[in-house]
Chains A and B, each alone.
Chain A
Amino acid sequence: MVRRVKTDLFGKIAVAAVFIITVLSVLSLVAYAVSGPISSPKKTADTQQPAQPKAGEVTPDEAAKYKCSSISTTQDRIRCRLSLAEENEYDYLPEECRAQVNQSREKCVANYKKAQACWTSLNDTERFSCAKSAFGLAGTVASQKAACDALTGTNRSNCILDLRDRVDVVVKFRIYNLEEKAQRLMNKGVSEELVVDFVTLMEKSKQEYNAAKIIAEKKSIVAQVQETWQLFITKAKPQVKQ
């Protein structure tokens, strides 16, 4: 009888032990599944690709690729860019793109590249027409907006968003055109400091434009750019050598 009781007790203890071990195993495995292995952060760091650049910073690859990009301040980078020899003049990362990250930076650089051919145009009218064509903005914005409005639902909203994007790059192309005009005036005797200051303000304006959420704000930024240009011209004209 005592032996039976003993065996019964032993059986119960054994089953309880198996149950406890099972529960503990499951709990520890669940903990492992949730938090991962202890060594995983090190493993991840070893296998990870180089860190993504933060806004305003460049990767070591970009620093090696783009001239002037390792300089810390915008103004000094612009001064460096303006002093580049002609053959290296285009090997830089546009400031506006530098302020962005990942896909946005790629898209920004691609947009600059898209309008590259337009700089061979002889005057503003031709250059703007070329840029509008390069960004798919042929015809008036009003006509393209009307075409979007004829659509419905998400098709309409996507069409309008796309149109806004294209208008934005053309607007910024025109601001960039002023930077190029200023640089040309530098070749005619306008001081480098005046041009550097102006280009720095233009780059800042483009970044503010990118951050603007509403059209009224964008229009206000363009109006400010016009004022800044007028101030620049007022100071630059007396310096132009005839």
Chain B
Amino acid sequence: MAVIHHKSKTAGQAMKNEFINKFLLATVILAIVAIVVIGGCAKQAQSPLPLATQQSATEPARTVEQPVAPPQQAQQAEAEKAGTDEDVYNDNLNQSIEELSQLE
């Protein structure tokens, strides 16, 4: 009986050890998975809307651009002096149509 009892005790201990091993293995796997997934989440969280951020970086460049400067009145007067009436009333857009035709 004593031997049987001893065997039973040994078997119980072995099962316990087996359980602890499985538990540890599961914990390690869980930890690895958690680290990988949390790492991925953190990486994603660090770069929200990357396109918007990149565009924002270019924002100052857009606003510092100076717009067109049309002719100043003095220059206009000079141009009118040198130009003919034909220049004033002529659209001179035939060149545009010609150039577009050359692209075809």
Which A residues are closer than 8 A to B by beta carbons? 1, 3-4, 7-8, 10-11, 14-15, 18-19, 21-22, 25-26, 29-30, 32-33, 36-37, 40, 43-44, 47-50, 52, 59, 61-62, 65-66, 86, 89-94, 97, 102-103, 105-106, 109-110, 112-113, 115-116, 119-124, 128, 140-142, 145, 160, 163-164, 167, 170-171, 174-178, 180-181, 183-185, 187, 215, 218-219, 222-223, 225-226, 229-230, 233, 237
Contacts and interface: CB of A to CB of B under 8 A. Distances in A.
B69 interface: yes
Contacts of A93: 67
Interface of B: 8, 11-12, 15-16, 18-19, 22-23, 26-27, 29-30, 33-34, 37-38, 40-41, 44-45, 48-49, 52-53, 55-56, 58-59, 61-63, 65-73, 75-76, 78-80, 82-84, 87-93, 95-97, 99-104
A185 B89 CA distance: 10
B79 A122 contact: yes
Nearest to B89: A233
B97 A222 contact: yes
Contacts of B55: 49, 52, 102
Given A141-B103, A219-B101, A65 B96 contact: no
B75 A223 contact: no
Contact of B93 (A19, A40, A65, A174): A174
A80 B64 CA distance: 22
Decide if the interface of chain B is mainly helix, strand, loop or mixed.
helix
Contacts of A92: 67
B65 A113 contact: yes
A89 B72 contact: yes
8 contacts: A29-B33, A106-B62, A112-B68, A113-B68, A121-B79, A183-B70, A187-B73, A219-B100
B44 A33 contact: yes
